[in-house]
Amino acid sequence: MTTRVEHVMGMPVVVDVRDQDVDDAVFDRVFDWLRFVDATFSTYKADSEISRINRGELELADAHETVREVLDRCEELRQETGGYFDARAPLPGLVDPSGFVKGWSVDRAGAILDEGGARNYAVNAGGDMVLRGGALPDDRWRVGIQHPLLRDQIAKVVEANDLAVATSGTYERGDHVIDPHTAKPPVGVLSVTVTGPQLATADAYATAAFAMGEAGPHWTARLPRGYAAMTILADERVLSTPGFPAI
């Protein structure tokens, strides 16, 4: 069992591998990848490709292929969510794919671990997670979803073997999710957790559903197969779609 923690992309990233025979070089490859993502996509780094695109110094056609891949997927998700997930917001003409990049990069980190022979691991990026196998010696992983109002309380526990878990809400960052249609924070909702096979998509769905406010649960009821959601409303009612893996 090996656990490595590094601060990258503005948050702590924890890689917890429960297998006994995984080479330490695999961890190096994971964090090298995450540092590349940060250097390429960060809106806080003046020399990142996203910053250069936003300043008009780099044409999208000349950007790294991963930049084009990410922005294409963000546009697909914008259309799929009725504009509630929008990498173009909040400033017209600029792009900020941060709400997708974190999950996308962790999905890829999981693929690096798979290629390195890991079969039982968890990658935790600021509370959003990719889970594989079991938390040996336990045969499943258990993830606590923090209560959005009671910071020392757990709202629900998710139990799974192979799953991504993403939560969007106020929490430590305050009102960082804005309804792109009103340019204001949503009302009537405290948090949305989405589970599914891909963290990038689950994170985008959670962001979109939270931005919808009270209308979010109606939308999450129609999530694609394999994805499920739990919404905590402002009155602390908890609404879950069928298949949400809480215990």
pLDDT digits (tens, 9 = 90+) for 171-199: 554 446 788 888 888 999 999 999 999 99
Q: What is the pLDDT of residue 177?
A: 78
Over residues 194-221, the mean pLDDT reads 97
Look at 46-55, 123-132, 166-175 and tell me which has the smallest mean pLDDT: 166-175
CA atoms within 13 A on the CB side of 13: 25
Model confidence band, residue 74 (pLDDT cutoffs 50, 70, 90): very high
Please give the average per-residue pLDDT across 207-213, as a whole number: 96
CATH H superfamily, domain 2-240: ApbE-like domains (3.10.520.10)
For the chain, the structural domain boundaries read 2-240
With beta carbons less than 8 A apart as the criterion, state whether 71 and 81 touch: no
- DSSP 8-state code for residue 78: H
Taking all residues of the chain, what is their mean pLDDT, rounded to a whole number?
93
Alpha helices in 128-236 (DSSP H): 199-211, 216-220
Q: How far apart are CA 178 and CA 176, in angstroms?
A: 6
C-alpha to C-alpha distances, 207 to 4, 112, 122, 224, nearest whole angstrom = 28, 26, 22, 16
- E strands, the chain, are 2-8, 11-17, 121-125, 128-132, 141-146, 154-160, 163-169, 189-196, 228-233, 238-240
Contact 116, 26 (CB under 8 A): yes
Q: Is pLDDT of 90 > 70? A: no
pLDDT above 70 for 210: yes
Amino acid residing at 210: F
